[in-house]
Amino acid sequence: MSSHVPNTPLRTAVVGTGSIARSSHLPALTKLAAEGEVEVVAAVDVDGTAVRTFADEFGIPQASTDLHTMLTETRPDLVVLCTPPAVHREQAVAALAAGAWVWCEKPPCPSLADYDAVEAAEQGDGTGPYASVVFQHRFGSGARHVRALLRGGALGRPLVAHCQTTWYRNQAYYAVPWRGRWATEGGGPAMGHGIHQTDLLLDLMGPWTEVRGMAARLVHDVETEDVSTALVRFADGGVATLVNSVLSPHEVSRIRIDCELATVELTHLYGYRNADWRIIPAPGVPEETVAAWRDFGADEPSSHQAQLRVLVDDIRNGRRHSTSGAGGRRTLELITALYKSAFTGTPVHAGDIGPGDPYYTELHGGAPGWAPAGTREEEDHA
Ligand SMILES: NC(=O)c1ccc[n+]([C@@H]2O[C@H](COP(=O)([O-])OP(=O)(O)OC[C@H]3O[C@@H](n4cnc5c(N)ncnc54)[C@H](O)[C@@H]3O)[C@@H](O)[C@H]2O)c1
């Protein structure tokens, strides 16, 4: 077990008490608290009224408006960050420095530079504490089953995939001042909305090697894109299309992977159950084989609760969680590369974007027409 964590309920602090904390984290934490796995000891929010209301409602003993004071006084084992992306880096680094494990909402950070700074702050004596990202769609029983089939080679080589996050957001959604801006939202639908499907695609298909992207701003008055498309190549030779949109009246989240022996298809919106997956065999596959492929076992929907259960087990065993470090970075790197490719008109390869590259520190890369007015590249091109 980790040298940092006792074998008692993990003392957990929730930072940011807005909608995702309320709708997803507290239900998950409450369930695991009932099983003796966690105990929510503190809530933090810059909005004093919001944090007091939240703490009262969920019976949390400490309500604070200051993260640093809470970290010093309470010394939690686990800090769950449910704040906007712009503050994730600073808050994750502070929590790690205080000896806490971190579970940070997506998008993990607004840039690879920020992500790498968090990774550098991990204390890494081999047993944690480590930071990890909320990517709950990797953790439903459907993804677990299909991942095992794909990794074990049962379906043959994955050849061509489609990954689609086609959602709809109206003008009122973008009237909130922090939305649609690089600095505060972190990016457009490639980053903020499609990140879950992109992360699941990578989890199923393995490492990506090359991306060619396109982005457009077709409807909304935003700094970022409101739709993007991309072609992605994978290390084992497979290829995929990627579509991320907030302009699509018929909303759907979909992943389809054509393998040598079967097509796997997932169709849902914000979360899936086993019944949302289909496996369609190629001609000639024996019926017993198909029946085994279609046996997903007990149904565990994709959810914060499903991921939290695995995370708590990892913390207790001093193990790095699968969405930590490189396991979370690859998704942010693909999204960053998609933007670079879209804004420069060139293919981008995995590993291309590092310190010194403008896209390493800002997803708009200073590109004319995309960077906010007044930034360095915009001025250079004026
Ligand atoms: N995993 C998912 O499926 C999912 C779904 C929705 C949102 N999210 C992510 O969750 C995060 C929060 O989104 P939300 O919809 O709950 O936002 P929200 O605006 O409803 O809540 C954010 C809360 O953070 C507080 N806050 C802001 N700055 C703070 C700071 N410096 N310190 C402490 N508190 C601060 C705000 O006062 C607010 O109460 C975002 O990163 C978002 O992308 C994830």
Record the tokens describing residue 32, joined without a space: 């695991």
Q: How far is CA 11 from CA 33, 62, 80, 103, 353, in A?
A: 10, 12, 11, 13, 37
Q: In what order do the strands lie in the sheet with 38-44?
A: 62-64, 38-44, 10-15, 78-81, 101-104, 131-133
**Single-letter residue type at 2:** S
What residues pair up with 63 in beta bridges, in sequence order? 43
**pLDDT above 90: residue 150:** yes
**For the segment 217-275, what is each residue's pLDDT rounded down to a tens digit?**
999 999 999 999 999 999 999 999 999 999 999 999 999 999 999 999 999 999 999 99
**CA–CA distance, 162 with 199 (Å, rounded to integer):** 13
**pLDDT above 50: residue 374:** yes
**pLDDT above 60: residue 214:** yes
Pocket test for ligand 1, best of 57, 82, 114, 179 (most atoms within 8 A of CB): 82
Residue ranges around ligand 1 (CB below 6 Å): 15-21, 44-47, 50, 67, 82-85, 87, 105-106, 134, 136, 192
pLDDT band at 380 (very low <50, low <70, confident <90, very high): very low
Q: Give me Rg for the CA atoms of the chain.
A: 21
Residue of the nearest CA to atom 30 in ligand 1?
46
Q: For the chain, how many residues are written?
A: 382
**pLDDT above 80: residue 307:** yes
**pLDDT above 90: residue 124:** no
Record the tokens describing residue 55, joined without a space: 């703490």
Average of per-residue pLDDT values in the chain: 95
Residue of the nearest CA to atom 21 in ligand 1?
18
Record the tokens describing residue 332, joined without a space: 């942010």
Record the tokens describing residue 66, joined without a space: 């200051």
Q: Tell me the H-state helices in the chain.
A: 19-20, 26-34, 48-58, 67-74, 88-97, 112-121, 141-151, 171-175, 182-185, 189-192, 195-205, 287-293, 304-316, 326-344, 358-361, 376-381
pLDDT at position 75 is: 98
